[in-house]
Amino acid sequence: MLVLLLSISSRLSYAVEYRPLPPTAPVGLSNDWLIYDNASNKLVLYLPGYHAPARAYYQWIVLRPNQPFRITFAARQDLTLFIDNQLVFTAKTSGNYTLDVADILPKPINYGQHLLCIWHPLAAPDYTSFSNSFTPETKSASFVKSNWWQPQLRVAVHQGENVFLCFLLLIGLLYGAIRTIYRPGFARIYELWSNVPGEQNFLTRPTITWLNVLLVLIFSLSFGLLIVAIHTNVQNIVILKQLFSVSESGLVGRVLLYAVLISVFVFAKAVYLSLMGYIFDLSSLVLVQYREFVRSLLFMGLFLPIVMLLYLVLNQSWPEGVLWVSNGVVSMMLLATVIRVARTLNRRMSLLNLHLFSYLCATEIIPLTVLLKLLVITY
C-alpha cells in the first residue's frame, strides 16, 4: 500500500511540473537595431554613444499571414529599405512615410522571419523615427485582448522634443528678464507700428547697445531653434550642415550652431551695407537702413516662440501642416522685414529713383532670395 501511494504521488508531481513556454516572436519593430561589424563579420547590437553612426541599420522582423506590418518613419531623399538584401522601397523626396511591409514585398510572400535594412548613400539614417503604425481597428482589438492592469509601453516622443521644450523655456525666461530690466528700451524697440515721435527717434539712436545685442542673440536662438525643428521634421541635409558637420543626435549643438550663424549674419549685415552704400554713394542711408532692419527683425522674432509652441503641440498629429505653417512664418518674417526697410528708405528718398531701387535690390531683395532658397524652398 505504501509503495502504491508513493508511486501515485510521484506521478502527480510530474503531472503538475511547470515548463515555461518558448518566447513568442516580437510583433512589429523594436527599439533594438543592429549594425554590421567588419571585425567579427556579423551583425551586432547598435549602442548609441558607443558605436559610431552607420549608414545601414538592421532589424529582424516577423511577418504573419493576414496581419499587416505597418511602419512609419521620416526619410531623407534616396533613403532605401531592403528586405533580405532585396530592394523594396526608395524615398523619392524627403518627408514622413507610412508603409505596410507586406505590401511592398514581392509576391508570393514568404511569411516568417526576415531581415530589414535601412540604408542611405550619404548620411546615417534616422533609425529613431522608425516606429509601428497601428490602424484604429488594430489598436481596439489589441486593447480588448490585453489585460487593463498590465503596464503599457510608453509611446516614444518625437526626436528632440525635450531639447526643444528646454530651449523654448530658456527663450521665454530671457525675454521676460530683459523686459523687466530694460523696460523703456524694450518698449521703444517693439512699438513697430506706432506713430509717436519715439518711433522715428529710435532710428537716430546708437545701434550697437547691450540691449540690442542681447535681443539679437535671443532672436538668433529662437530662429535657430525653429530651423532645427523644421530640418528635424523633414530629415534633410542643408547646405550649412555640409559646411559644418554636426552629429545627428547633437540637437543642442545644432541649435547653438544655427544661433551663432544667424547672429554673425545680422552683425555682418552692417559691414555689407557699408560696402554697398560706398559703392552706390548712399552712405547716408546705411545707419537708418540697418537700424530699421534690426528693429523689424527683432519684432518679427517675437512670433517665433509661438510658432515653435505650435510645432510641439501639432507635430505628432499634423506634421505636414506644421511644416507649411513654419515655412510660411519664416517667409513672411523675411518679407515683412524687407517691406519695412523699403518703407523707411522711401521716406528719405523716393523708391522711384532707379539708383535707390538698385541699391535696395542689392542689399535686401537679393539676400532675401538667397535666404528663402536656403531655408524654405529647399524644404
User: Which residues of the chain, if any, have pLDDT below 70?
Assistant: 1-27, 134-160, 190-207, 232-249, 376-379
Please give the model's pTM, rounded to 2 decimal places: 0.58
The predicted pLDDT at position 229 comes to 82
* Cα 24 to Cα 17, 27, 258, 307, distances in angstroms: 21, 9, 47, 45
- On average, the pLDDT of the chain sits at 78
Q: Residue 19 is placed in which grid cell?
A: 515548463
Alpha carbon of 276 to those of 290, 345, 351, 361: distances in Å? 12, 15, 17, 11
Ordered domains of the chain (ranges, CATH): 34-133 (2.60.120), 161-377 (no CATH)
Residues 240-294: tens digit of each pLDDT: 444 344 444 578 888 899 999 999 999 999 999 999 999 999 999 999 999 889 8
Residue 347, CA distances (Å) to 63, 200, 240 in order: 70, 11, 37
Beta strands at 42-45 and 56-63: parallel, antiparallel or unpaired: unpaired
- The torsion region of residue 49 among left (phi > 0), alpha (psi -120 to 50) and beta comes to left
Q: CA-CA distance, 122 to 76, in Å (whole number)? A: 10
- What pLDDT is recorded for position 8? 52
**Virtual torsion, Cα 138, 140, 142, 147, nearest 10 deg:** 170
Q: For residue 19, how many other CB atoms are within 10 A of its CB? A: 4
